[in-house]
Every structure is written in C-alpha cells, then in structure tokens.
Amino acid sequence: MSNTIIQFKNVTKQYDSDPTVLNDVSFEIEKGKFYTLLGPSGCGKTTILRLIAGFTEATTGEIYFNDKRINQVPANKRQVNTVFQDYALFPHLNVFENVAFGLRIKKMKKTDIEAKVKEALSFVNLSGYEAREIKEMSGGQRQRVAIARAIVNEPEVILLDEPLSALDLKLRYQMQYELRDLQKRLGITFIFVTHDQEEALAMSDEIFVINKGKIQQSGTPNDIYDEPINRFVADFIGESNIVKGTMTRDYLVEFVGKRFECVDMGMNTNEPVEIVIRPEDLEITSFDEGMLQVNVHSQLFRGVHYEITGIDQDGNEWLVHSTKKANVGDNIGLKFAPEAIHVMRFNETEEDFDKRLDSYTEGDANEQ
Ligand SMILES: Nc1ncnc2c1ncn2[C@@H]1O[C@H](COP(=O)(O)OP(=O)(O)OP(=O)(O)O)[C@@H](O)[C@H]1O
C-alpha cells in the first residue's frame, strides 16, 4: 500500500486580488511524518492548509487524500483537523467541553466521550484540568487544549497554522519539544506552518520552503541547510555568505579574484554561479595564511561565539561565527574547507536541480 496520504498535483489558487497565490504546486505528504511549510508572510502557506482542510477550493489542479480525489469533498467529511493560530477555543465552555465539542456533534455515547476526552487531555499533560475555564488557562495550556481538541477526533492528519506564534520565547521552545514528542507518540501526520526557520529546522522530518506561491525546495532539515538550491533558500534558512563566482573547470570555482577547490555537482565550465559559505564554516587565521583577506568591520559577543563581519577587497561582506576574537579595523585571513563551499546556479528550481544531479550521477556511473 502506498505510504502517501496527501498529494497535490499542479495546484493553482487565484483570487481576484492576487492572481498567483499558489502557482502550479505539486507535492506528496507521507503518513506519520512531521512536515513544515516554511516561508515569508504571504507566500501561500495558509492557503495550502486551507486547501487540505477543505476551507477553500483549488482554481486548477488535483488534491488527493489516500489516493482519492477530494477537490469537492466538504471540510467536515475530511479526516483532517486544524489547530489555529489563535486556538479558536470556546471561551464560555470549560476545558472538558471544549475538547468534547466535536464528539458531541457526532452524537457519540456519553461514556465514550468521557473516555476519549480523558485520553486526549492525558496525551497533552492536562489531566485534572477538565473543569477549568479557558480564561483560567495560560497561553501554553490553551495551546494544549486546542491540540487535545484536534486529536480527540482521531484524524489522520493534523494541520497547525503558526500555533506557537502567540507564546513567549521560552514557552515556545518548550512547546516545540512537546509538539514533536506528541507527533511521535501519536504517529499521525502533522503539517505545521511557520515563518520561523529555526523552528522548522528543529521540529521537522521534512520542510517545504515556499516563496511567492511556489515550493522552492523540499527535503530534510539537513538537506535544506547543507544543500540550498538557490539564493532564496540559502538566505531564508540559517545565515549565509553569498557571493558571485564562476566555475573555471571541474572542481574549481573562482570568486573574489581567486580560485578555490570545491565540490562540483555537474556545473559547466565558465558558468556564472553563486557561492554559499556558512558563517560557522569560516575560520579566522593570520592575514598571510588566509584564503580570503578581510578588514574587520564589526564584532559582537554572542555567548557561544563571536559574530564578526569583515569586508573583502571587492566590497563583499563576510559573516564569521568564531570562538576566536578579532579587533575592529584589523586585517585578518579567513580559511575554509572545499566542502564548505556550496555552489548554486542562479535561480535554479527544484526540478532543474534534481535533473542536474541525476544526469551528473549517471555521468559518474558511466565513467567507472
Ligand atoms: N480570501 C482571500 N481573498 C483574497 N486574497 C487572499 C485570501 N486569502 C489569502 N489571500 C492572499 O493570498 C496570499 C497568500 O496568503 P496566505 O495566507 O496563504 O499566506 P501565508 O504564507 O500563510 O502568510 P502569513 O504567514 O502572513 O499568514 C496573500 O497575498 C493574501 O493576501
């Protein structure tokens, strides 16, 4: 049996006010994993959730749930529950009744409702809070009530639309752990929306990075961090140094007037490229030993490391995370390993990136 639970095939969504909210989006969601839709405000994340939940219809394209086309299936007939940003709890009902609400609508037997609500509240560590009013609950507790209300219906998929954004930072971290742990214990699919890249990296099995109504890249947090396919992804995920360069020949790339060994993934000779080097991959050394030379522009102490910026001879700014100190105004050298240089094509799409890698690895196999 297929492990795919949700599939989007060439889905487009248009509004009169916004003609390309989603532009030909295709993806597959597998059962039992934690997915994150990550992207800046207005990129179309919530629209994808609303299409899955059945709160809005696709303009074109197909949406499948367990291999059945569900474009016209109403929201209440879908095996999906949503946890909203503001939790959408009923303020006049207590915790028990908030969680029981959906089951009462389904006209479930009273004893079954009691058992299920108890179980759901225990899952989110709220046993004993049944009689509390919503206004007597803290932000984190309200969040857990909202989750209990979603899981009590035993949906196959839970959609979470920026559910942690109302919480302060400490509670937010705690809830990240709790949500991740809950998803593992329940074993059901979570689709989580955020614009916070750290949150996405910490929580997800798979991330879809979205911009301007298109999925820019999908993959595990490691894949996306280590192999961003274009400038948008490299910039949006983590901190990056991005400069322009040219592939001079296989495994050699030129930038800031010098040639460096790099890991080549099927680029053409003389092809203009963009280079990404993460700040933690740059090491401070003496001016003469440096592979690049920069003049130190600023330095901030960040507890675990110093955050240093330096300007090279071409005027590019380099961000360095280093346990070593530098002094503003000093000329210093920077060192890095060939594997730290990540070479990207200009504006490459995920489809073209995959094709390039396929033909490159096939080429490798033919040479052996
Ligand atoms: N009902 C609607 N009518 C018209 N335009 C809409 C409607 N809903 C969303 N849009 C537009 O669609 C675009 C994408 O919205 P969406 O809510 O999916 O973005 P988002 O990535 O979730 O953003 P945010 O992080 O700010 O919630 C926006 O430009 C928005 O103005």
pLDDT one-digit tens code per residue, 194-223? 999 999 999 999 999 999 999 999 999 999
> Is the pLDDT at 55 greater than 90, yes or no?
yes
**Average pLDDT of 91-103?**
93
Q: What is the pLDDT of residue 366?
A: 53
Q: What is the pLDDT of residue 8?
A: 98
Average pLDDT, the chain: 91
pLDDT tier for residue 11 given thresholds of 50, 70 and 90: very high
Under CATH, what is the fold of the domain 239-367? OB fold (Dihydrolipoamide Acetyltransferase, E2P) (2.40.50)
Calpha distance 275→230 (Å, rounded): 10
Q: What is the pLDDT of residue 368?
A: 46
For residue range 313-336, list pLDDT tens digits in order.
999 999 999 999 999 999 999 999
Calpha distance 1→146 (Å, rounded): 32
For residue range 341-360, list pLDDT tens digits in order.
999 998 888 888 888 888 87
DSSP-derived letter for residue 286 is -
> Is the pLDDT at 363 greater than 80, yes or no?
no
Neighbour count for residue 7 (Cβ, 10 Å): 18
> Is the pLDDT at 303 greater than 80, yes or no?
yes
- Testing ligand 1's pocket by substitution, the residue of 11, 13, 15 carrying the most ligand atoms inside 8 A of its CB is 15
Strand ranges for the chain from DSSP E: 4-13, 22-30, 34-38, 60-65, 68-69, 80-83, 157-161, 189-194, 206-211, 214-219, 241-249, 252-255, 258-261, 272-277, 283-285, 292-301, 306-311, 317-322, 331-335, 342-344
Calpha distance 178→126 (Å, rounded): 13
Task: Return the percentage of the chain with pLDDT > 70, whole number.
Answer: 98
Which residue puts its alpha carbon closest to atom 20 of ligand 1? 42
Please report, for the chain, how many H helices and E strands are present, in that order: 9, 20
Which residue puts its alpha carbon closest to atom 3 of ligand 1? 15
Q: What is the pLDDT of residue 292?
A: 95
For residue range 216-231, list pLDDT tens digits in order.
999 999 999 998 999 9
Structure ipTM over 0.90, yes or no: yes
**Stretch(es) of the chain classified as CATH 3.40.50.300:** 4-226
- Enter the pTM of the model: 0.89
Which residue puts its alpha carbon closest to atom 25 of ligand 1? 41
**Domain 4-226: assigned CATH number:** 3.40.50.300
Ligand 1 mean position to 45 CA, how many Å?
8
**Stretch(es) of the chain classified as CATH 2.40.50.140:** 239-367
